[in-house]
Amino acid sequence: MPGKAATAKGLQRALYVLVLGLCLASAGAQEREAPYTALRRAMVVEIRQQAAGEADIDRRVLETMAHVPRHAFVPETQRSHAYENRPLSIGYGQTISQPYIVALMTDLARPGKAHKVLEIGTGSGYQAAVLAELVAQVYSIEIVEPLATQAAQRLRALGYTNIHTRVGDGYYGWPQAGPFDSIVVTAAAPAVPPPLLRQLKPGGRMVIPVGTSFFTQTLMLVEKDAQGRVRTRQLVPVRFVPLTGNH
C-alpha cells in the first residue's frame, strides 16, 4: 500500500492538473470572447451617437448592453453581424431588435433593481436578458412555441435565474404574475391592449410600438399615475413585427 507521503503527493498532482485545466479553459474562453467584447463596446459607442440629441440613455442601460452577449441570441449564420446596429432574423418570421431600439425601450421602462417587468415577445431572449441585468424579475411571453423553448433553454444556459418564460398570447399579458412596474412590448399592436394596461402598476410605464403596418408604427410611452390615470406619448417611428394571436 502506498504511504501517506505518496498519497499526499498524488493528491497534489491531481489538484495541480485540475487547476491547470480550469485556468486553460478560462483563458480559452476569454480569448474566444475578446473579439465580441470589443464589438460590444463599438456597438455601445454607435448607440450613444444615434441617441445624441434624441434620447439621454441611462449609463446603467449602456453598461448592460456592453455586457450582454448579443451573439449568443442570434443564429450561428448571423453571428458575424451580431453587433451591427440593425435588426436580424431569428427565424419563424421574427427578428431580434436593433440594439439602439433595445437600449431606448429599456431606458424608457426606467428599470429599478426591485422591479418586476413583463415582456411581450420573448423572441430569442435578448431583450429579456438586458432587462434581467437591471431588475429583480422578468416575466416574458412568446407566442411562437419553438422560439419560446429555445429562448428558455438559452437563458438558463447563460445563467439567468430571474427570467420566467411561457408560451402564450401576449395580448392578454400574465395576470397571475402581475401587476408589473414596467411592461415592454416588442411587437406592434393596433392599439394599447386593455389587459396589459390593467396589469400595469400605478406609477408604472409601458413601452409599446403601436400601428397597423410596418410603415405606420410609432413607439409609444404609456404612463399610469398614482391615481390610475393614463397618459400616452408618441415618441419615434419604428418597424416591428405585428402582435399576433386570437384577440
Residues with a catalytic annotation lie at 97
CA nearest to 206, candidates 225, 219, 222: 222
Instruction: Please choose, from the candidates 169, 190, 54, the residue with its C-alpha nearest in 3D space to the C-alpha of residue 121.
Output: 169
Cβ burial of 61 (10 Å; 0-12, 13-18, 19+) is buried
Residues 97 and 119: beta-carbon distance below 8 Å: no
- Residue 210 CA to residue 181 CA, distance in Å, equals 20
First CA to last CA distance, the chain: 76
Q: How many CB atoms lie within 10 A of CB 188?
A: 23
Exposure string for 129-166, b = 16+ CB within 10 A, e = fewer: bbbbbbbebbbbbbbbeebbebbbebbeeeebeebbbe
Please choose, from the candidates 125, 131, 82, the residue with its C-alpha nearest in 3D space to the C-alpha of residue 106: 131
Residue of 52, 69, 68, 71 whose CA lies nearest to 60: 68
Cis amide linkage into residue 179, ω under 30° from 0 = yes
